[in-house]
Amino acid sequence: MRNGGVLGGRGASGVRGVRRATVARSALGSLLAALTTLTTLTALATATLTACGAGATEHGSGADVGKGARTGPATTTDPTRIPGVGDRWQRHIPADSRQVVAVYGDGRDSPTATVVLYARQGSAWDRVRSWPAHNGKKGWTTDHHEGDNRSPVGVFTLSDAGGVRKDPGSKLPYTRSPGFAAPRWWAKSYWHDFDYVIAIDYNRVKGTPPNDPTRPEGQGKGGGIWLHMDHGSGTSACVSLSESAMAYLLRTLDPDRHPVVVMGDRADLKRSR
C-alpha cells in the first residue's frame, strides 16, 4: 500500500505536469497563431496603403496627394475653354471676347453661386478672381419670364453700367442717377443694392442706361437683370456681389475686350447640347 501510494502520488504529479505542459504548449500555439495573424494583417494593411499611394502618384508624389488631386484635372482641361462650360454655351461666347464673367450657380433651385472673372491671354483663358454671389431666389431657368424669381441661363454681353454712387472708375459707360435707388418701402438691407450696377444684356437695348425700361422682346420676357451689390440672399433674377467685387468689375471690364457673362447652374452650364 505504501509503495502503491507512493507510486500513485508520483503518477498524479506526473499527470499534473503533463497537463501543465499541454496547457503551456496550447497557449504558446495560440500566441504564435495570433502573432502570425497580426503579421499577416500588418502586411495586408501595408499593401493596401502602398496601393493607395501608388494610385495617388499618378498625379504626383505621395507627399503631394492633395496637390495632385487638385491639379490633376487642370492638366486635362483645355485652356482655350472656360472651365465647367460645355459646348452648348461655350460656342455662344463671341470669338472676339477677351473677358468672361462666369456665374456658377450651386444648383438649379439654389440662390447661391460663385462668380469667376476670366481674361484671355493669347488663346488661353486665365482665372483672375472669384467671389461668392447670389442669383434668383428660386434658382435658374432657360426660359425666364417676369416674376419667376429665377435667373436666366445663357451667355449675354455686358455693355453698360451705372448706379446711385459716383463712377468708381468704370471702363464701361457709366450713368449715375438717383433713379437707381431701391424703393424705401423695401427692407433696409436692400437699399444699397443698386449703388453699383452692370447691366446684363438680356431683353434690353445696348448703349442705354441699365435702368432704361425698354424691353425689345416684351414685358413678359422680363428685364432689368443686372450684376449689382449683394444684400445677403437671393434676388428677383439678378446676380449680386459684394461692394468690393462690383467696384473691381467696374474698373476692370473693358468694352474694348468685349466682356460677356456666362451664367447658370453648374449642371446646365456643363451640358454639351
Query: What is the full per-residue pLDDT of the chain (273 aa) written as tens digits?
Result: 333 333 333 444 444 444 554 444 554 455 444 444 434 433 333 333 322 333 322 222 223 223 333 333 334 589 999 999 999 999 999 999 999 999 999 999 999 999 999 999 999 999 999 999 999 999 999 999 999 999 999 999 999 999 999 999 999 999 999 999 999 999 999 999 999 999 999 999 999 999 999 999 999 999 999 999 999 999 999 999 999 999 999 999 999 999 999 999 999 999 988
Q: Would residue 6 be called left, alpha or beta, if left means φ above 0 and alpha means ψ between -120 and 50 degrees?
A: alpha
* pLDDT reported for residue 25: 53
| Distance in angstroms (rounded) separating the CA atoms of residues 79 and 53 | 29
3-state secondary structure of 201: coil
Residue 163: what residue type?
G
Q: How many CB atoms lie within 10 A of CB 106?
A: 15
* pLDDT reported for residue 272: 85
* pLDDT reported for residue 174: 98
What pairing do the DSSP bridges indicate for beta strands 124-134 and 112-121?
antiparallel
* pLDDT reported for residue 43: 37
* pLDDT reported for residue 46: 35
Q: What share of the chain is helix, strand, coil (3-state, %, to 5)?
A: 35, 20, 40
* Helices (H), ranges, the chain: 2-56, 65-76, 87-90, 243-252, 266-270
* pLDDT reported for residue 273: 84
